Amino acid sequence: MRIKNLGEFSLIERLAKDIKTSARVIAGIGDDAAVLRYARDKYLLFTSDMLVEGRHFHKKTDPYLVGKKSLSVNISDIAAMGGVPRFAVVSLGVPPSLDLKYVDALYK
């Protein structure tokens, strides 16, 4: 079976069943964001949605707009869980031949 036959959410479900967790994990894989309790009444929300060229944006899309969209979809996941975004982590998968100007514009 191939991933395309399974689909994104079924793949997440399949992977989640084997992931060990702890009492500090309030919400884990499969939700908009992971919710972790790090102290009494203190929580951190983590999310990482990667955008894929050809699916979430076109190759000719301004890299600034791709970066803005990437940040926006992750911020909206935090907001959907009732959180306030404070930090950002970027996941970037690009070919080695990509011009550095594109990457610089992506991060603006």
Q: Give the number of other Cβ atoms within 10 Å of residue 87's Cβ.
A: 7
Question: What is the average per-residue pLDDT within 85-106?
Answer: 87
> What is the total count of domains within the chain?
1
- Parent domain of 23: 3-106
Tokens, residue 31: 């939700």
Q: Is there a contact between 90 and 49 (Cβ–Cβ < 8 Å)?
A: no
Q: Is there a contact between 33 and 78 (Cβ–Cβ < 8 Å)?
A: yes
Question: Among 16-25, 67-76, 80-89, where is mean pLDDT lowest?
Answer: 16-25
Q: Give the number of other Cβ atoms within 10 Å of residue 51's Cβ.
A: 17
Task: Note if the pTM is more than 0.85.
Answer: no
Question: What is the average per-residue pLDDT within 86-107?
Answer: 87
Tell me the per-residue pLDDT of 24-78, one tens digit each, with 9 for 90 and over. 888 877 778 889 999 999 999 999 888 888 888 888 999 999 999 999 999 999 9
User: Which is more confident, 61 or 20?
Assistant: 61
Predicted local confidence at residue 65, as pLDDT: 94
Predicted local confidence at residue 70, as pLDDT: 92
Q: What is the CATH number of the domain that holds 36?
A: 3.30.1330.10
